[in-house]
Structure formats: structure tokens, C-alpha cells
Amino acid sequence: MKIRLFFTFFLIFTSSLFADTNGIYDIRGSSPLLDTNLTQFLDKWRYETIAPVQNGTYKNVFVNGNTTQKTVALTFDDSPDENNTDKVLDVLSRYNVKASFFMIASPMNDANATTVTRASNEGHLVLGHCFTHPRLTDLTPEAITQQLNTTSERIEALTGKYPILYRPPYGSINQSVVDTVNTNGFATILWSLDSLDWAIKDSNAIVNNVITHIRDGDIILMHSSQANAATVQALPEIIEKLHTLGYTFLKVDEILGLKAYKQ
């Protein structure tokens, strides 16, 4: 009995010791403010998405950075919004933190275009989140290709840089999507920690979720659209607490060791 207990403890200990050094994380993020149905939906999507990444079926799909270095990457989807995106940029400037913005190309006009240029000029990554925010799994390879290229062309017209890193809207991918993206020379960037700011509009809950689940090398999913005022409110505390915990903020190209733009 004692021998069995010893080996049980040994397996638990070694599993916990090496759990965060296996290279590819699971996707975390939870809140008591989420209802049961949404939690179950997220759990199912996370497993179905991360398993092919971890077993190597999906190529050039990235979830997190180095799990042995105390670095994290802040990423913001659904920009540009000249209101909340600019407010996020103000916070990042105040703390001298660089981030990565996955932007939708269709709204890039007028004041929104200025926000895109501002983000690039201030040293952040401006990357693609497709042209019209579709579920890529609903599209043909030709339509996916058009979404990728027209988005990068619009960003290049505003910033002078053609991004080759993109994030699929809703994180919606399958083998066909991944193969099409790779054929076009892009890489897919997902996330390992979901702030859940798209689902919960309570800044304290967003902060608690991020700080509770943070791991070395995490890529953190956040948003900066018109609907994300709570994100703006939560961001200063998230940055301050992660700084206190000893984390360094990197852009996704830095944390992954990838090129962000076509040379």
C-alpha cells in the first residue's frame, strides 16, 4: 500500500513539475459569470482546437510562447475602433508596453484608419483578423485566400507593412483552413489564455481571470472594439499585477520567434 501511494505521489509530482514545459499549452480562462452552456461550448471548442495543434496535425498554428521564460504577450482582436482602441493605446503608452493588434480591415477608414497608423507608429504589431470577420470554416479556400490578402493589403496601404501573421475570427479553424492559410504563406496565431472580455463585461472579473490563470509564455486574448469598455478599465490593473509578478511583455513575433511582416 505504501509503495502504491509513493508511486501515485511520484506521478502527480512529476506531472506537475513538467506540465508547463511541454511546449504547447491548453487554452485557459474561466469565470463564475459564464453560464453553464457557454462554459461547455468553450470547453468543447478548446479541446477540438488544441488537440490537433499538440499532436502536430495542424502546422504553423501557434498557441503560446516559451513556457520556461517569464514573458507574456497581450493581443487585442476586433480593432480598429477609434474609441476603445485609442484608449487601449493610451494605456499601453502610459506603461510603455508593446502589444499585438489583430485588426479587421473593412472598418479601416476615416478615424479608424488613423488608429491603425497610430498603433503601428507607436511600435505595436498591426496584424490581420480578416476583412469582414467571417468564420473561415464556412468559406472556400478561394474565399479564405481573399480574406487574408485583402486584409494584409489594406494594412500595408496604411502602415507600409504587409502582415503574414493572422488570427482567425472566433478561433474557427479546421484542416482545410490551416492548409489554405499555410499555402498562402501565413501563420495562424491563437492564444493560451482567454481573458473572456468578449463574454463578461465586468473589469474585476476580467482581471481576476487573467491573473488567476497566467503562465509563463502565455498569449493573452483581449479585445478593443466598441463593445470592450471593460477591457480598457481592466488593462491597467492587469499590466501592473503582471509586472509585480515579474512578467515581461513581448509582441507575438518576439514571444514566438516569427517574422510578423513580409520582407
What's at 109, amino acid-wise? Answer: N
Q: Where are the alpha helices (DSSP H) in the chain?
A: 2-18, 36-54, 84-95, 110-121, 141-159, 175-183, 203-213, 229-244, 252-256
- Residue 136 has a CB neighbour count (10 Å cut-off) of 25
Q: Residue 8 to residues 16, 18, 20, 21, 141: CA-CA distances in angstroms?
A: 12, 16, 20, 21, 49
Active-site residue, from 77, 216, 218, 253: 77
Residue 35 appears among annotated catalytic residues: no
CB neighbour list of residue 7: distance below 8 Å, 6 or more residues apart: none
Cα–Cα distance, 12 to 191 (Å, whole number): 27
| Cα atoms in the Cβ-side hemisphere of radius 13 Å centred on 192 | 27
Cα–Cα distance, 185 to 29 (Å, whole number): 30
8 A C-beta contact, residue 50 and residue 24: yes
CB neighbour list of residue 56: distance below 8 Å, 6 or more residues apart: none
Active-site residue, from 124, 223, 243, 253: 223
Residue 77 appears among annotated catalytic residues: yes
Dihedral of CA 219/223/228/233: which sign?
Answer: positive
Residues serving a catalytic function are 77, 223
